[in-house]
Structure 1
Amino acid sequence: MYNARTGESMDTIYWIEGQYLREALREVNFFFRDWRRNEVKGIDNRTLDIIAATHNLVESSQPFMLLSGYRSPATNAALRARSRGVARNSLHLKGQAADLRLNGRSVSQVARAAASCGAGGVGKYSGSNFTHVDCGAVRTWGR
């Protein structure tokens, strides 16, 4: 995975034989941090599982580009002030959501793969060229 905001890359195995790897999850948490405030929060393993399954389903060798992972309350409020597309109680605040882009795949392709997991919310933001995935209630939205 590549973080578009920090320029960092991460290539890690976070789960083996039914066990989440604590050190790898720490790396993931830092990678998904609120880069505006440099705040780290634990990312929900279910979100990671949806992202990994989605990547497998789209059959791409390209890494996902992370646009937004964890958001602090201050960052979320600032983004809400600028855009009506930011939820007040966003799952980004809980470390349960990610906004992703994948070179070589359309927003619709990524969203279809994520939705086929039947495990959380999937939003298509074609105008901004990203797909939102989260481990909340199963639902879809966007164009």
Structure 2
Amino acid sequence: MASNSTTRLTRRGLLGAFAATTLVAAPTYSNAFGILRGAGDIRRIKMYNGRTGENMDTIYWVEGNYIKDALDEVNHFMRDWRNNKVRGIDTRTVDIMAAAHNLMDTTEPYQLISGYRSPETNAMLRSRSNGVAKNSRHLKGEAADLRMNARSVNQMYRAASACAAGGVGRYSSSNFVHMDCGPVRSWGR
């Protein structure tokens, strides 16, 4: 799942994006189980998958510790829906997604367009579009394509870019934003 590689995913960038988490999340979870009461730092991810009809709303990190069962839920949710193949999603990508979501100050979940892609699915998509990378980070469980109704592509792009912690692609004509845990870079219109 998570790797300790030397990509430019900076701790400072993510910590800055999560700085508001305590203030924003504490009131939301005031009635949660004891472990969450007064928790200084929690990370939550909310998504909907229109292709499978599934919803996910999970706290996956509390006080510096990832929660294995929650990450298993994320991995299954972000599976290749075409063939149900599952791969561990890099926690750095999940952190970027959650941090960007916090910055957008909305309760609406992300709509997942694409998470993990199996080699078969990636090859099929490449045969249909020149916009699909041969060595896509989706193949490694390191990327997500997301959209929201309550926020524009530009708003999502700016929030993800503010994290300064990976790749952010803006696909305005297709109405989604790509987020990954690779080197800091951006593209698209």
Q: Fold match, TM over 0.5?
A: yes
Identity over aligned pairs, percent: 68
The DSSP-based 3-state class of the residue aligned with 2:95 is: helix
Give the equivalent residue in structure 2 for 1:73.
Answer: 119
When the two structures are aligned, how many residues end up with a matched partner? 143
Distance 1:92 1:5 in 2: 17
Q: Which of the numbers 93, 99, 108 marks the counterpart of 2:145?
A: 99
Aligned residue identity for 2:129 = S
Give the equivalent residue in structure 2 for 1:85.
Answer: 131
- 1:44 offset after TM fit, Å? 0.2
Mark the runs of 5 or more structure 1 residues left unpaired by the alignment: none
Q: Which of the numbers 159, 173, 176 marks the counterpart of 1:113?
A: 159
TM-score normalised by length of structure 1: 0.99
TM-score normalised by length of structure 2: 0.75
The DSSP-based 3-state class of the residue aligned with 2:186 is: strand
Q: Is 1:10 aligned to residue 56 of structure 2? A: yes
Give the equivalent residue in structure 1 for 2:68.
Answer: 22
RMSD across aligned C-alpha pairs, in angstroms?
A: 0.5
- 1:28 offset after TM fit, Å? 0.5
Q: Which 4+ stretches in 1 moved above 6 angstroms? A: none
Distance 2:176 2:49 in 1: 13
Give the equivalent residue in structure 1 for 2:81.
Answer: 35
Mark the runs of 5 or more structure 2 residues left unpaired by the alignment: 1-46
Give the equivalent residue in structure 2 for 1:124.
Answer: 170
The DSSP-based 3-state class of the residue aligned with 2:55 is: coil
Distance 2:129 2:50 in 1: 20
